[in-house]
Amino acid sequence: MKKLIWGVILLIGAITQTIVAQEEFSREDVTALIKEHIKGKEELGVFRYNDARTGKVLELEFENVRLIRKLHGYGFFADVDFHEKGEPQKIYDLNFWVKPKDGKLTLMDIRIYKAPKKETDGWVQATRTPIPWWWIPATEHPGEHEEKRGWEISSTMHEYIVEKKNEGNGVFRLKDDKTNQELELEFVEIHNPVRKLEKTGEFFACTDFRLKEGKDQFYDLDFWLTEKDGKLEVTQVRIHKEPQEQDGHWIQMPRYEFENEKTVEVP
């Protein structure tokens, strides 16, 4: 009981520190950081963004920072409008995740929220699925505890992925436990839903990553998380499915299956 109480106190303390840090920064501060980042990455007015889902480097022209939301304990989330170079009708909504760290604002990640979709009379914006985890709290209703836990788990995973990308000079590095090869991967998305394993109490979610040098080669990575002292942490990452070429196409082949929440190796 004492350990539980102490864990709750630590969790409340960590969230409180982040909330206090957020209060030190305004939406104007966040806007300034985003514009500075975009300007620093632009070449001849073009902002290049690597779309990990399609493997295409988008050439975008900045329009404006349209909306900034604050999620207490998790940071700021900005909707930033761009259009494809030379095509003002093809509008992208990129979400910038900004979080206070070590006394300053830090850009954590950039994700495509909406992308242009061709229709008969022109271009419209289509929301990509799954939506980023920071949009889920806004759709919750009182009492939806499991859904709330879902986005909390996703946020922990995403921050872990960001940290590993920073350590890997922009790529997520993972040693393949089957081949001993170090893979250089680009983060694509976290699958929904995430879930809790009843037998172990662990949390679990699947993700998609693209091989950096392979346009159509996707890995399905499984993440396990545990709650320790009131805080979620990633404890294991495994390759669930690997890309294999068949008849000129890359498909994902499983290395293991699940039986009663346990992994069983595929022969």
- In this predicted structure, what is the pLDDT of residue 205? 94
Residue 161 pLDDT exceeds 90? yes
Domain count, the chain: 2
Contact 79, 64 (CB under 8 A): no
pLDDT of residue 140: 62
In a domain, 241, yes or no: yes
pLDDT of residue 138: 74
Residues 118, 99: Cα–Cα separation, whole Å: 34
Q: How many whole angstroms separate alpha carbon 111 and alpha carbon 90?
A: 17
Does any domain span residue 4?
no
Q: Are residues 19 and 121 in the same domain?
A: yes
- Last residue within a domain, chosen from 128, 157, 192: 128
Residue 92 and residue 22 in one domain: yes
Residue 189 clears pLDDT 50, i.e. is over it: yes
Instruction: Sort strands 56-71 and 75-84 into parallel, antiparallel or unpaired.
Output: antiparallel
Question: pTM for the complete prediction?
Answer: 0.87
User: By residue range, what is the domain housing residue 210?
Assistant: 143-265
Q: Is residue 256, in this structure, part of any structural domain at all? A: yes
Mean pLDDT of 171-184: 96
DSSP structure class, residue 131:
P
* pLDDT given at position 3: 46
What average pLDDT does the structure give for the chain?
A: 90
Q: How many CB atoms lie within 10 A of CB 207?
A: 23
Residues 86-95: tens digit of each pLDDT: 999 999 999 9
> What amino acid is encoded at 107 in this protein?
L
Checking if the pLDDT of 44 tops 90, the result is yes
Q: Are residues 148 and 186 in the same domain?
A: yes
DSSP letter assigned to residue 130? S
The reply to whether 118 and 208 lie within a common domain is no
pLDDT value, residue 213: 87
Does 4 score more than 50 pLDDT?
A: no
Q: How many CB atoms lie within 10 A of CB 163?
A: 13
Q: If pLDDT is split at 50, 70 and 90, which confidence band does 209 have?
A: very high
Residue 177 has pLDDT above 80, yes or no: yes
The verdict on residue 251 lying in a domain is: yes
**Do 164 and 261 have their domain in common?**
yes
* Residue 225: predicted pLDDT: 96
pLDDT for position 17: 53
Letter string b/e over residues 171-191, b meaning 16 or more CB atoms within 10 A of that residue's CB: bbebeeeeeeeebbbbbbbbe
Is 88 within the bounds of a domain? Answer: yes
User: 129 with 113: CB under 8 angstroms?
Assistant: no
In the listed set 128, 159, 177, which residue is the last one of a domain according to the structure? 128
| Residues whose CB is less than 8 angstroms from the CB of residue 215 and which lie 6 or more positions away in sequence, other chains included | 55
Which tens digits make up the pLDDT trace of 57-105? 999 999 999 999 999 999 999 999 999 999 999 999 999 999 999 999 9
